[in-house]
Amino acid sequence: MTNKALVVEGGAMRGIFASGVLDAFLEQNYKPYNFVIGVSAGASNLLGYLSNAPHRSYQVITELATDKRFFNRTRFARGGDLVDVKWLIEESNQRFPLDEDALYQIPMYAAVTNIETGNADYFQLKPCNLENVLEATTALPIAYRTTPCFSGGCYTDGGVADSIPVKEAYRRGARDITVVLSQPLNYQMRPTRAPWLMKRLLSRYPTVAESMLVRADNYNQSLDFIRHPPQDATIRVIAPPDEFAVKRLTMNKAVLEQGYQMGVEAGKQHIASRQGNHGLDDQNCHFCL
C-alpha cells in the first residue's frame, strides 16, 4: 500500500487558507494519510485537523492572532516581541482544548530550524513536546525575540530552512503526497533585497542568517520538486487562487474570512476530484486539486 502524506505550508495569517481546506476535510471525515508534516502556521492548522476540531484554526487566526496581546507593533518598538508566540499557543490551548486521544492517531511532524546548523530538524509531536515544538516551528526570527530550546538544541521558525517540507515527506517514504500551499501556484519567492541587513539583524545567529539568504532558492527548489516529482511519486497541490488577498500580517477580518472560504471551497474540490466526481482520476489529475 502506498504511503500517503499531507504537507501544510505556513505563512502566518496566510494560513487561513489551509484552515479552510482542513475544515472541508473534517466535514467529510477525510483522513487518508499515513502521516502529516506542518511548518509554522501549517503545524498549528494541523492540530485542529488531527484532533477533529473544526473551526479551531479559524478561531485561533481570526480571534487570537488579531489580538494585540499577540501582534503588537508598539511592544516591538520598545524591545519586546512583535508576535507573542507563547501567549498564542497557551491561549489557544486554554480556549480551544485539543482532544489528545484523537490528535496522536496519525503521526505528525513539524519542521524547525536549528540555530546552530541553520538546517531543518523535524520533530514528531508527542504529549511531552507538543508546546515546545509548536513554539519553535512558529518562532519567527526577529519578530519573536525568544529562542525556544529543548531536546538539546535551540530553534527558530521551520519556514527559514524548509518552508514546504515535501522532500522530507518523500524521504520518509510517502509516495502519494498532498501539499497545501499558502501562495498561488504561479508564485516564485524572490531573494532577499538587502543581504547585509539580514546579516546585521541576525548577527547573533549567523547560520540562521545564511539560511534566510538562501531561503528563496530552497523554496523555489521545493516548488520544482512538486512540479517534477520522482517517477515513483504522485504529488497533488491545493493552492489559493490568484485573487487570494491575505498577506502575512493581514488583520482585516473580512479579508481573512474571504481567504478562509476560498480554502473551504478548494478542500471540497480536492475531495470531489479524488472521488472522481469531476471525472478526474490518477491518470489525468496530477499537480492539481
Q: pLDDT tens, 95-109?
A: 999 999 999 999 999
48-57, 113-122, 273-282: range with lowest mean pLDDT: 273-282
Closest CA to 288 of 230, 231, 226: 226
Average pLDDT over residues 66-89: 95
Kindly indicate the confidence band of residue 278, based on its pLDDT and cuts at 50, 70 and 90: very low
> How much is the pLDDT for 2?
77
Question: Where in the sequence numbering do the catalytic residues fall?
Answer: 40, 157
Strand duo 108-114 + 35-39: pairing: parallel
Q: 61 in the Ramachandran plot: left (φ > 0), alpha (ψ -120 to 50) or beta?
A: alpha
Helix (H, G, I), strand (E, B) or coil at 126: coil
Joined together, the cell numbers standing for residue 103 give: 490528535
Q: Which is more confidently placed, 16 or 277? A: 16
**Spatial contact of 240 and 17, defined as CB atoms under 8 Å apart:** yes
> How much is the pLDDT for 277?
58
**Spatial contact of 145 and 22, defined as CB atoms under 8 Å apart:** no
pTM: 0.92
Residues 6+ apart with CB under 8 A from 184: 239, 240, 241, 242, 244
CATH number listed for the domain at residues 4-275 = 3.40.1090.10
d(C-alpha 178, C-alpha 166), whole Å: 9
Average pLDDT over residues 159-185: 97
